Amino acid sequence: MRIVHLFFSVFFFSACTAKELKFVSEPYQEPIPIVMEQNKAIATFAGGCFWCTEAVFLEVKGVEKVVSGYIGGKTANPTYKDISSGTTGHAEAIQITYNPSEIAYEDLLEIFFGTHDPTTLNRQGADVGTQYRSEIFYHSIAQKESAEKYIQLLEKEKLYDRVIVTKVSSATQFYLAEDYHQNYYNLNSSQGYCRMVIAPKLEKLRKYYKTKLK
């Protein structure tokens, strides 16, 4: 797996540079199965505010759909208000439908790690709380192994000076977020958070990952 783009982009998307890393992995549990059509697969990532991660992956080639939602908690049918309390255990996350013949899961991992800080526990920038944690939810043994190997690769390359806190967990029930959260950046690009946080991230995405974009 390649990390060339990640090497350059890590200095922009995190405040860290190099030393000890390790991955945090949950014991294996059978993920909730998703029946997909041929040449379609699912990836589920939590990396801070889902407005940001959704905007990033909507630009990636081979990605056919990105939806924002909640995963990893104990409350059924949570609302944004529920998860914002930090008591339900859910993370803000995105679920990506992609064509694996056009882009590999490992490429999605590269972009995921390159566009958020995997070393800040329950936080991305000014967004603080367990709902903003860094977590990969795998849908197969292959995805689990790829995620763990990628984190081990980051450890070997010593790109950060803090421990990677990204969890690798079995995918549980994914709940769609409210309609106003979907495609948020494209529908609200003049909003302050979009201009100050998401837009600069997209500029760097386009600079360092242009060969992987639509």
49 in active site: yes
For 28, phi then psi, to 5°, come to -65, 130
For the chain, where are the E strands, in sequence order?
24-25, 41-47, 63-71, 91-98, 123-124, 127-128, 134-138, 167-170, 175-176
Q: Of the residues 16, 49, 52, 194, which is catalytic? A: 49
CA distance 102 to 62: 5
State residue 34's pLDDT score.
61
Question: Tokens 């991660």 sit at which residue?
Answer: 53
Q: Which residues of the chain have pLDDT under 50?
A: 1, 4, 7-30
Please tell me the class of the 4-209 domain: alpha beta
Predicted structure pTM score: 0.85
